Amino acid sequence: MPAKTESPPILLFKRVSTFELVLRIGEGTIDEPGDLGSIYKPTLEKDYHAIGFYVQESGSSPSGSIVTLSVQNDNQVQPLLKNPIDYSLTYVSPPRNRLSNPPTTRTHAFWAPTPPAGYVALGMVATNEKWNNELDVPPDKPLPTEVMCLRQDKAEQDSKPDQYFSRDMRGNPFKMFRIRGTQAMYSEGNSKPVSAYYPKNLRES
């Protein structure tokens, strides 16, 4: 009698359109920035995981959706999803060591997840924290549990994400993108660009 074979892992996706506001982007102060753009954290359904945050141009309510991921029959040795091992700061406003008038008590920061070996990040996250930018201390990093990274053999590189909008925050410019298919945020700011990826062979549950 042939040995029973285990079912292969299946990557599932679900689009969600409910969010929690993280920060607003504008030309005013960090504490009262205005309404040129907003970044949101997706509200997750049971067993689903975020891959990044969602960005909406203007201060209006979110009008789109973002992909979240889950796995059936996961491989326990090489799971399809893993949390990042770290984050790299890709943009911060106001910049570190720059005096601001009036003094800034909060910071907007964009972060690229650092995936484990053999995995890729599928989006970025943002933080909006109390912070003294006049000190040479970086903002606090997000928690590793904010997002999941995808096993690299299940991903494709998005060589040219769609540019969504660009802003110059008081001489501190950045570009904001949405990654193909998933609509996860991807930003290029005051650091070198990082690679953008999206899942292949998505199956909706």
pLDDT in tens, 41-96: 999 999 999 999 998 877 677 889 999 999 999 988 999 999 999 999 888 876 55
Which of 43, 23, 21 lies closest to 129, judged by CA?
23
In sequence order, what DSSP letters do the residues of 137-177 get, joined into one string? -PPPPPPGGG--EEEGGGEEE-SSPEEEEEEESSS-EEEEE
CA distance 191 to 92: 10
- Strands 119-120, 125-130: pairing is unpaired
CA distance 146 to 86: 11
Under the banding of pLDDT at 50, 70 and 90, the label for residue 31 is: very low
Query: N- to C-terminal Cα distance for the chain?
Result: 34
Q: What is the pLDDT of residues 83-95, one digit of tens each?
A: 999 999 888 876 5
CA distance 50 to 45: 10
